[in-house]
């Protein structure tokens, strides 16, 4: 998956453009730039790539989630429904706004279960955030209908699903707002960076101001700009944007490689009757960044994960025992271990998470193995890996 595996001349040229003119900040210093505006160029490219009207670059995927929610008015005391399976950044971004993460079960798509979402809605619910984990999607039509019915924001965290599509639309472009990460291990990378996308002009304008201390970005004199509202610093640098500008132009190349490698591995292990695969909703196509499959039970998946390690089959995980990506071991969240005081509403919400059993999520995560698909593998390496995976799974059953 990581685009850094294939760094080359394109990335070096874009970075050298920035180093040659010396302007590392995305705003101002017009006379020194020699016409180079890497962040603006990347935003333009992403508008086309994601088939959306507006793109706002930010400093990380975590910042993208906070900025997306904040630009649409989510804040103190509001509840945001999110899945039990995601990266810790998802709830961090919600908490940073003073909002309350409400965790609900996933289903066999490894994303939000629409039935669990509907049950979790209260008078305080402001948004539903699907996290398109490991390169694929949930039941987007059902979730969109729930949000429309209850007048809720529908936010897509597509940080791990760049290049995936649903009914011909890029993941991230379907909800009210979409969020992306371009950190070092994403399919396209800026080193560090992210983006908020939307077709809503107001949300975009808010995001544009909010990410840069509230600057209105009117005119050509940065010092004379006004501040319509409070903002913070979530800016991307020109150096990071330059790397991303080279990488986004290579996205079709990367997706094609991922699909080829993914298909070889999937075809090999699909011959095992006990192996089943995550459900991809009709009309959806994964980004092929990960191969996700289910085994009969937790004990078997643990045996397979151990066998993979013993046989040097790397970048494969059973997330049930993972500290970063599954609710089971998010003790710092459940115990509200914060450096600063949290509101009573947030503490109540976290107490509810601590006292909830997510049996359905355990059922799917406990049986799941997730394998990252690398871009740098040779065909011989992929075939060897497929053979080793096949043997390791069979020996564990």
Residue closest to 149 by CA, chosen among 172, 174, 117, 173 = 117
pLDDT in tens, 199-209: 999 999 999 99
All domains of the chain in start order, with CATH: 3-250 (3.40.640.10), 252-396 (3.90.1150.10)
Residues forming a β-bridge with 290: 372
CA-nearest of 133, 181, 138 to 159 is 181
β-pair type (153-157, 177-181): parallel
Listed in sequence order, the residues at least 6 apart from 214 whose beta carbon sits closer than 8 Å to its beta carbon are: 227, 228, 229, 230, 231
Q: Which helix (H) or strand (E) holds 371?
A: strand 368-372
Whether the CB-CB separation of 78 and 245 falls below 8 Å is answered with no
| Cβ(5)–Cβ(377) below 8 Å | no
Joined tokens for residue 37? 């505006």
Which residues touch 264 (CB under 8 Å, ≥6 apart)?
A: 379, 382, 383, 386
Give every CB contact of residue 6 below 8 A, 6+ residues apart in sequence. Answer: 250, 253, 254, 375, 376
pLDDT in tens, the chain (397 residues): 899 999 999 999 999 999 999 999 999 999 999 999 999 999 999 999 999 999 999 999 999 999 999 999 999 999 999 999 999 999 999 999 999 999 999 999 999 999 999 999 999 999 999 999 999 999 999 999 999 999 999 999 999 999 999 999 999 999 999 999 999 999 999 999 999 999 999 999 999 999 999 999 999 899 999 999 999 999 999 999 999 999 999 999 999 999 999 999 999 999 999 999 999 999 999 999 999 999 999 999 999 999 999 999 999 999 999 999 999 999 999 999 999 999 999 999 999 999 999 999 999 999 999 999 999 999 999 999 999 999 999 999 9
8 A C-beta contact, residue 111 and residue 156: no
Q: What is the pLDDT of residues 229-239, one digit of tens each?
A: 999 999 999 99
């Amino acid at each position: 998956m990581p685009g850094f595996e294939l760094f080359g001349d394109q990335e070096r040229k874009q970075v050298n453009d920035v180093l040659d003119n010396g302007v590392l900040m995305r705003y101002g210093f017009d006379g020194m730039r020699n016409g180079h505006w890497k962040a603006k160029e990347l935003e333009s490219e992403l508008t086309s790539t994601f088939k959306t009207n507006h793109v706002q670059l930010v400093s990380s995927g975590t910042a993208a989630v906070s900025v997306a929610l904040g630009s649409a008015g989510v804040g103190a005391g509001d509840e945001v429904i999110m899945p039990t399976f995601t990266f810790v950044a998802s709830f961090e971004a919600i908490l940073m706004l003073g909002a309350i993460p409400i965790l609900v079960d996933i289903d066999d798509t490894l994303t939000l279960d629409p039935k669990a979402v509907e049950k979790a809605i209260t008078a305080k619910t402001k948004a539903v955030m699907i996290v398109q984990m490991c390169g694929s999607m949930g039941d987007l039509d059902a979730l969109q209908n729930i949000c429309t019915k209850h007048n809720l924001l529908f936010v897509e965290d597509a940080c791990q699903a760049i290049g995936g599509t649903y009914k011909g639309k890029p993941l991230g472009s379907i909800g009210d707002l979409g969020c992306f990460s371009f950190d070092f291990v994403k399919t396209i990378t800026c080193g560090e960076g992210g983006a908020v996308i939307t077709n809503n002009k107001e949300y975009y304008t808010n995001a544009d101001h909010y990410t840069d201390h509230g600057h209105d970005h009117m005119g050509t004199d940065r010092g004379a700009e006004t501040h319509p509202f409070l903002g913070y610093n979530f800016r991307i640098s020109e150096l990071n944007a330059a790397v991303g500008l080279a990488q986004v132009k290579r996205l079709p190349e990367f997706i094609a490689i991922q699909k080829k490698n993914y298909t070889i591995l999937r075809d090999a292990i699909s011959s095992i009757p006990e192996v089943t695969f995550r459900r991809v909703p009709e009309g959806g196509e994964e980004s092929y960044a990960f191969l996700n499959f289910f085994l009969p039970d937790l004990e078997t998946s643990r045996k397979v994960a151990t066998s993979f390690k013993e046989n040097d089959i790397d970048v494969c995980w059973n997330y049930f025992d993972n500290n970063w990506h599954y609710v089971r071991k998010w003790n710092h969240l459940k115990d509200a271990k914060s450096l600063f005081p949290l509101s009573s509403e947030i503490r109540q919400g976290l107490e509810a998470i601590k006292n909830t059993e997510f049996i359905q999520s355990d059922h799917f995560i406990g049986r799941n193995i997730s394998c990252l698909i690398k871009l740098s593998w040779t065909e011989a390496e992929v075939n060897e890996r497929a053979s080793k995976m096949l043997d390791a799974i069979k020996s564990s059953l």
